Amino acid sequence: MKFELSPIGFVKTEAEIVPRHWTISDAEGSIVIDEQYKAGLKDIKTGQRIVVLFYFHQSPRFTPDLLVQKPRHRNEQLGVFSICSPVRPNPIGMSVVEVLGIEGCIIHIKGLDMIDGTPVLDIKPMTEKENLCR
């Protein structure tokens, strides 16, 4: 079975160094959403946290020998599904970022761990446990 995904937009940032994970990032940038999806941004608000699903478009091709990897910040080999490595069977990433503002089709964000040009696959609200079915 194969799936075909198309980006809904792309990341734009001038940050020269992007942290390896959103939990340690103060980097800022934007997500530029394709005009056809603009109406879907209607209820995103400044200060809200959103989940961004993206494609690791510059990652090396995955091979079975990469099922176990040694992250740069760890001293042990770990299974790929227990780490946030961009080198994975399906190179999909997830970040939680803070919305700084919205202008038309552009979402200004903070907490960026994606490089300039990263294809964005989807955006979801960051929900609290009691609001899961929003």
Residue 65: inside a domain, yes or no?
no
pLDDT bin (cut points 50, 70, 90) of residue 79 is: confident
Residue 2: inside a domain, yes or no?
no
Token pair 């761990």 in the structure block, residue? 113
State yes or no: pLDDT of 61 exceeds 80: yes
pTM recorded for the entire structure: 0.85
Other beta carbons within 10 Å of 121:
17
- Mean pLDDT value across the chain: 88
pLDDT bin (cut points 50, 70, 90) of residue 130 is: low
pLDDT tens, position by position, 10-54: 999 998 877 777 877 778 999 999 999 999 999 999 999 999 999
Other beta carbons within 10 Å of 90:
9
Question: What pLDDT, on the 0 to 100 scale, is given for residue 134?
Answer: 45
Residue 80: inside a domain, yes or no?
no
- The CATH number of residue 104's host domain is 2.40.30.70
| 3-class secondary structure per residue, 78-111 | EEHHHCCCCCCCCCEEEEEEEEEEEECCEEEEEC
Question: What pLDDT, on the 0 to 100 scale, is given for residue 133?
Answer: 42
Domain range spanning residue 110?
Answer: 9-59+87-127
